[in-house]
Amino acid sequence: MFMRVLNKWIQKEPSKNAITILKDRYFLKDGEGNYLESTWDEVSKRIARHVAAAEVNYTSDIEEIKNAEEHFYQLIKSRIFLPNSPTIFNAGKTMDRQLFKKDIEETTLEDYKTIFDSRTKHNMLSACFVIPMDDSMSAIFDAVKNAALIMKYGGGVGYDFSVLRPKGSSIAGTGGKSSGPISFMHVFNTAASTIEQGGARRAAQMAVLRYDHPDVFDFINSKKDNKGNNVLNYFNISVNIDNPKEFKKMLEENGDLTLEHPASSIRKTIKANDLMNKMVENAWKTGDPGMLFLGRHNQYYAMSEHTPVTATNPCGEEPLPPFGSCNLGSIDVAKLVEDMDLGNPNSDDISEFQEIIYWAVRFLDDVIESNIYPLKEIEEMSKKQRFIGLGIMGLADALYKKELPYNSEQARKFMAKLTAELAYFSHVASTELAKERGNFPDFQRSKYPHGFIPFPMLDDEIDEDIKAWNEKIRQHFQGEATKYKRNVQTNTIAPTGSISNLADTSSGIEPNFLLSYVRYMTNKEGDRVPLSYINPILMEKIGTNMTEELKAEIIEKGSIQNIDSIPNEIKKIFVTSMDIPPKDHLLAQHVIQSYLDASCSKTINMPKSSTIEDVKAIYLQALELNLKGLTIYRDGSLETQVLTSASKE
């Protein structure tokens, strides 16, 4: 069964662009910079074997371990499932190559044990971390050091800066005045830029500050210096509005907001609307700050009463408590929709999708064991709660193949059903694993024994299929899940910025940014390498009508909406981010987030011509919907865009 759908994709080699990226970032090299790998097959085998070796913790049956390796290998080789980049970079790194070159038939239990026992600090496999800081100099600089260790191996880090007392507060020990959270963000930023030069990839950080912290205006303005230059380039910033509905009410009543901090005598009273307007104005200018609704994150987090989440990772998809970590993996639904009726609760293909999800969940659960954590505290938290983040990529390409316009009611129903199916089967898998391996150690203290459902779900009425998924989900959480759960959180949708390129698919749940582009990749030597691309599904759809002139015009424009010779039915389906009205981006996020216990990475793209009022309307709508946060981007508002159509170069 498992082989049927994977087989077709196992035969397909990654594209030229994917190979270029693999060569630059992912193929292992020795100390002198010589390649130790040259094919995707070798990479797939290395990851599968390293992660399967964790199964020595549960069994001494060699056949069972090999079976796990074989399933992991097939998932990865077919690129139907890819783990986050740190797993691809760091699995098997610095280990004896011979152990990874052996055929699976020749591999022994001792080999798996050797792999497991020879793990070192180089084998850090997770993408997402949150580390705490306290309002003291030594705690802040401990956090800088901890963050440096994480970023060195390719992980992203989030922090809640709200705990730091505001600028100008007294410091008992020195009689001086505190320089405030923003000044410390610059220390973290400098550390990140230094680490990046020797590290695996761009160091990324998220800074969170509560909306009622006295320095909130400085925070909102923190990404520009006095001269208007961009600063804090290694940070995304998000204002935490714990209770979005209450804040919306405050805005409607033009209410006052008191800014204060428990460690300071500073108190300021402002109009809530002034805060909102400043956030909106800056977001209009540069995309920052985003909003984060941590109260809602905690509402759907099974351990919030004991270890509330305090921040997210840099791209916002993974809320975590202090010292939390999460490893992510993504299933490429664009490949699967060719042969499977995804999202349909009555489909014959259900068991195959369930099997893929089961092995993906088992893989991510094994990563928790095979991971080497940068800090003892992170290891403890990660093993007590066992966060994993299984998500999807390729949604936009899947919609092209299904001929559903991203900005349509039909597409939103598909998105909801697909995410509900993913959530249902991955939670079922986590329960199955718990029966074999035990619950996550904090399970009894969590909300699960009380029939807790870790996401809001959509209203039953919207569609019969959604009703059916909701029913299955309720039964699961009120039944078996009250006794068995291996992972406190299971589903996250990552941006898949790099791995979607390795999979030759569209990223995460985003629409395609452009149908054709030249993407510039800066290689290790610092040279800009152009990678040109035209969406293959569009190419196929247009077929023999794709003349050289038409191709040139698509490359020139990036979108097909203003090309007269393309029929309207095709234009309707092949929409790009900028062709889609912002409210449809928001609604897509809403339906998808309704079935995620963690969160998703989603940018609400807005046209260049959008006004500050347009941005405000989106910010206000986001406070109303069941979202966990908001990130917008107005076209052209940042000087450097990674992607560019030929006309924008």
Within 10 angstroms of residue 452's Cβ, the number of other Cβ atoms is 16
- Cβ-count burial of 176 within 10 angstroms (0-12 exposed, 13-18 middle, 19+ buried)? exposed
Report the site for ligand UDP in 45-84 (rule: CB under 6 A): 84
Name the minimum Å distance from CB 249 to ligand UDP.
32
Contact by Cβ (8 Å): 207, 161: yes
Name the minimum Å distance from CB 529 to ligand UDP.
17
364 binds ligand UDP (CB under 6 A): no
**Is residue 128 flagged as an active site residue?**
no
Phi/psi region, residue 168 (left: phi>0; alpha: psi -120 to 50; beta: rest), is left
Q: How far is CA 346 from CA 349, 354, 464, in A?
A: 9, 13, 11
Which is closer to ligand UDP, CB of 167 or CB of 201? 201
496 binds ligand UDP (CB under 6 A): yes
β-strand pairing of 516-522 with 528-534: antiparallel
- Cβ-count burial of 33 within 10 angstroms (0-12 exposed, 13-18 middle, 19+ buried)? exposed
Identify the H or E element spanning 477: helix 464-478
Contact by Cβ (8 Å): 493, 508: yes
**Is residue 313 flagged as an active site residue?**
yes
**Is residue 461 flagged as an active site residue?**
no
Report the site for ligand UDP in 20-39 (rule: CB under 6 A): none
Contact by Cβ (8 Å): 46, 100: yes
Task: Return the residue nearest ligand UDP (CB atom).
Answer: 156
309 binds ligand UDP (CB under 6 A): no
Cα 641 from Cα 603, distance rounded (Å): 14
Report the site for ligand UDP in 110-139 (rule: CB under 6 A): 127-128
516 binds ligand UDP (CB under 6 A): no
**Active-site residue among 298, 313, 407, 501?**
313
Identify the H or E element spanning 239: strand 235-240
Report the site for ligand UDP in 539-578 (rule: CB under 6 A): none
**Active-site residue among 69, 282, 315, 327?**
315
Distance, CA of 300 to chain centre? 18
One residue of 92, 132, 156, 394 binding ligand UDP per CB under 6 A? 156
Name the minimum Å distance from CB 254 to ligand UDP.
36
- Tell me the per-residue interface mask from 199 to 218 with ligand UDP, x by CB under 6 A, - otherwise: --xx-x--------------
**Active-site residue among 55, 317, 318, 421?**
317
One residue of 92, 244, 405, 495 binding ligand UDP per CB under 6 A? 495
| List of E strands, 550-623 | 604-606
Name the minimum Å distance from CB 505 to ligand UDP.
11
User: Helix (H, G, I), strand (E, B), or coil: what is residue 526?
Assistant: coil
Name the minimum Å distance from CB 456 to ligand UDP.
23
314 binds ligand UDP (CB under 6 A): yes
Which is closer to ligand UDP, CB of 325 or CB of 470? 325
494 binds ligand UDP (CB under 6 A): yes
Name the minimum Å distance from CB 493 to ligand UDP.
9
Contact by Cβ (8 Å): 151, 195: yes
388 binds ligand UDP (CB under 6 A): no
313 binds ligand UDP (CB under 6 A): yes
Cα 411 from Cα 77, distance rounded (Å): 29
Residues at the interface with ligand UDP (CB under 6 A): 84-85, 127-128, 155-156, 201-202, 204, 313-315, 494-499
Catalytic residues, by residue number, are 313, 315, 317
